[in-house]
Each structure stands twice: as C-alpha cells, then as structure tokens.
Amino acid sequence: MARIRRELFPGEVLFRQGDPAGCAWLVESGEVELHAGTGGSARLQGVFGAGELIGELAQLDGAPYRATAVARSDAVLLAIDADQFAERIAASDPIVHALVDSLRTRVRALQEALPRGTPLPLEDQPCDDPEDRAGIEKIRFEAQLREALDTGTLEVHYQPIHDLQAGRIGGYEALVRWKHEALGQVSPADFIRLAEETSLIVPLGEYVLDRAIDVLRGLHRLHGEAVPSVAVNLSARQLVQPGMARQVVARATRAGLPRGALKLEVTESRMLDYGPVAAVMQHCRAHGVPFALDDFGTGYSNLTHLHELEFEYVKVDQAFCRHMLDSRRAMAIVEAIIAMAHGIGAQVIMEGVETREQLAELRRMGVRHAQGWLIGKAQPPEAVLAARPDAFTL
Ligand code: C2E
Ligand code: MG
Ligand code: MG
C-alpha cells in the first residue's frame, strides 16, 4: 500500500479522477478539495478538513476515483488500508453488510444520474455525532498503529521471570510497547485488541516474534545452553493464521536456539476452535516450542482450555496473587489451581508478584516461577542483555 502518512503542499494532487481505486484517506490537518470534471468544466465538490475521510467510496466498491483531490493548504493525511474497512464489513452482521451495500449502490447511482461535476452537498457537512467521532478516532488510532509498525517505532520490552527452584532468572516475557506521539506510552491492553479486530495483528505478532528472537540470539551467545527463555504472547487468532506455526518453528530453528528457549503464551480469546489450535500447538511442541496458558482464572482463560489442550505452563492471573494474603477464598483458589496444574503435569507461573510476603507464600506452596514488579519491570533489550540471570537473589 501507499505510504501511510502523506504531507501535501498547497496545490499538490493526492489522486486524480479516473485513477484506479487506492486507499481512503483521513485528513489529519490542513484542507483538501475534491473537484469533479476536467479542465474548464471542473467543479468544486467539497472541502475536507481534519477528521474527515476522502476516497472511502472508491475503497468500498473498488471503482476508480470519481473526483480529483488537491491540497488547498499544507495538509497531512493518513492512508486507510483497504483491509481496515473490508475486513470489518465482512465480519459485521449480514444486516449491516446489506445496508452498507445498499447505501453504496444508491450513492453511486445518484452520482451517475447527476450532470458531471454536480456537488453533493452532504459531503461538505462536518460530522458532530459523538458515535461517528468515536469511529473516526478509532480509524485514526488504527492507522497510526499501522504507521508505528511500518516505521519500526513499536518497542518490545522484557519482564523477568524468577525460577524459584533454580534460584535465577529463568526467562523473560516479551511485552510490546507503543510510544504514541500525542498519548505517550499506550498499553498493549489498549491496542492489541484493536489490532486483533483485523489482520493487523499478524504483522504485529511477526514483528514482536522477530525482536524476541533477536534478543534470544544475543542471550544464547552470552549464556550458551543456560540461555534464559523468552515467551511471546500470541492470541488464538494469530496462532491459527495459516503458516504461523511453520513461521515460528522456522524462525526459531534458523536462529539455532535450544529447545524451550522460545515459548509462546496463548492469551485470552472469545472462542477457541480447539481442533486447529491443538494441531498448531502439536507442531510447535514437536519442534521444541512449549506453551503457557496466560491469565488463567479470568476472562476466557478457563478450564475447558486446560482440558482440551496441552500446556507446559499455567500462568495464574495477577488478580489471585494480589488478594491471596488477605482473602482466605483467594488463597484457597490459588492452592486449588496449583494442585490442578501440577496434576496435569504443568508448571505454574504466578503473575503480579509485588511483595516478599507473596513470594514466600508461593515458595511454601511449591510454585516454580514468579513474575511481577518484585522480580522486575519490563526492560529494554539492552538491559536484558547486560543482566546476569544467575546472580539474581531475593
Ligand atoms: P499479560 O501477557 O498478562 O502481561 C502481563 C501484564 O501485566 C503486562 O502488562 C505487565 O506489565 C503487567 N504486570 C507485570 N507484573 C506486574 C505487577 O507486579 N503488577 C501489576 N499491576 N502489573 C504487572 P502490559 O505490558 O500492559 O501488557 C498487557 C497485555 O497485553 C499482556 O498481558 C498481553 O495479554 C498483551 N500483550 C502484550 N504484548 C503482546 C504481544 O506482543 N502480542 C499479543 N498478542 N499480546 C500482547
Ligand atoms: Mg502474557
Ligand atoms: Mg498474563
């Protein structure tokens, strides 16, 4: 697709009438005019400012652009990838699908019926419906995320995981970070879900996987066979993407990593289609890539997952650790989860360990791994490569 951010000077043409359909554009700043018709018969159709979309109809039906877009002032625009709209419409309720289709056909028919170049007055109406504004904000946020991925400005940080039995840092969890120019540090909790709504999650996952494998390569050089592991989060949607399992295995193998150095954490998902997920897990496991079930005990991370799929690790959601020392009920649940995980041959990783008292209690209960701010916050790769995992004490 085209560059995601375009900066235009006054008079510069973004696209011309008759050009094959490309992407739609969201105006970030400045103004853009649409002209229909050519030469002396060209007529102004509308002026579009910040927060308005242009070219979206051509994107919806794939027909050539019906007008020429020219910057009226210095202007900045964000490209809206075709998938961004097409995948959402395809995934929407068939009624919404039919309505969009019907509206699109009518607008096109109307455009055909009018003498060439007649302005469509509605196109110039500023939109002030809060729901529409929220939609535009979401479109913008997603385009910016795509741009961050494209320009390599997403960062991956690594949170240490304490292996209580070995008395060292046994591994790290890769956590993606986005430094947004206006919003500052945006939590992955806020943008992963958005990326998961479209196939944007696929390149994002590959990006994180590549960064994590780079770090693992460095760790392997430094620590040889005693290399600490790195766990990468993958949503079920990513996991069942065609070719994903082969990619994971190929990348880990190419990097010459020992078995178990790369791990995958399966994050919550509305529905898990167990058949394909089990097949993918089996393929990865056979090539030395084990799995953790993430955030166990909350949301959709449930007992059926444990029953249907084989996990080497169960990561207990941080809410349980937070409450186990002051709630008898939370403690009883934690004890039961640990017994159950051990019963199915999985190791437990407790998330959200923030105090020494919690850690002592976990040790008493025979928990093998602890992760949380007491052990350390997520760190940039340079810090991970400079750390001495076996010199860790608590
Ligand atoms: P998660 O996989 O359960 O990651 C743990 C989250 O808990 C991280 O938040 C981490 O910073 C936070 N945390 C760790 N220790 C503590 C603690 O002691 N106290 C508290 N209060 N919080 C702690 P973060 O980085 O904001 O990540 C949020 C979620 O975003 C992750 O939850 C994971 O589900 C998702 N995520 C992060 N990176 C990726 C990725 O590359 N791909 C996918 N698919 N999801 C990701
Ligand atoms: Mg995780
Ligand atoms: Mg987790």
pLDDT of residue 380: 97
Instruction: Please measure the distance between the N-terminal and C-terminal CA atoms of the chain and give it in whole angstroms.
Output: 51
Q: Which atom of ligand 1 lies at the shortest distance from residue 175's CA?
A: 38
> Which of 175, 199, 230, 350 to mutate to test ligand 1, by most ligand atoms within 8 A of the CB atom?
175
Pocket residues: Cβ below 6 A from ligand 1: 159, 175-176, 187-189, 192, 205, 208, 233-235, 265, 267, 294-295, 318, 352, 354, 372-373, 378
Rounded distance from Cα 146 to ligand 3 centre (Å): 24
Ligand 1, closest atom to CA 157? 25
Q: What is the pLDDT at residue 78?
A: 93
Ligand nearest to the CA of 352: 1
State the number of CA atoms in the 13 A half-sphere of 75 facing the CB: 27
From 192, 210, 230, 269, mutation site for ligand 1 pocket: most ligand atoms within 8 A of C-beta = 192
Q: Which pair of structure tokens corresponds to residue 252? A: 């880990």
Q: Where are the beta strands (DSSP E) in the chain?
A: 5-8, 13-15, 24-29, 32-36, 43-48, 53-54, 68-71, 75-80, 154-163, 168-180, 184-186, 229-235, 262-267, 291-296, 313-316, 347-350, 369-371
Give the number of the ligand closest to the Cα of residue 206. 1
User: Nearest ligand to the C-alpha of residue 264?
Assistant: 2
List the pLDDT tens digit at each of the 394 positions of the chain: 457 899 999 999 999 998 998 889 999 999 999 988 777 777 888 899 999 999 888 888 888 888 899 999 999 999 998 778 888 888 888 898 888 888 888 888 887 787 765 666 544 455 677 777 888 888 999 999 999 999 988 999 999 999 999 999 999 999 999 998 888 889 998 899 889 888 888 899 999 999 999 999 999 999 999 999 999 999 877 888 888 888 899 999 999 999 999 999 998 666 678 898 999 999 999 999 999 999 998 887 788 889 999 999 999 999 999 999 999 999 999 999 999 999 999 999 999 999 999 999 999 999 999 999 999 999 999 999 999 998 888 8
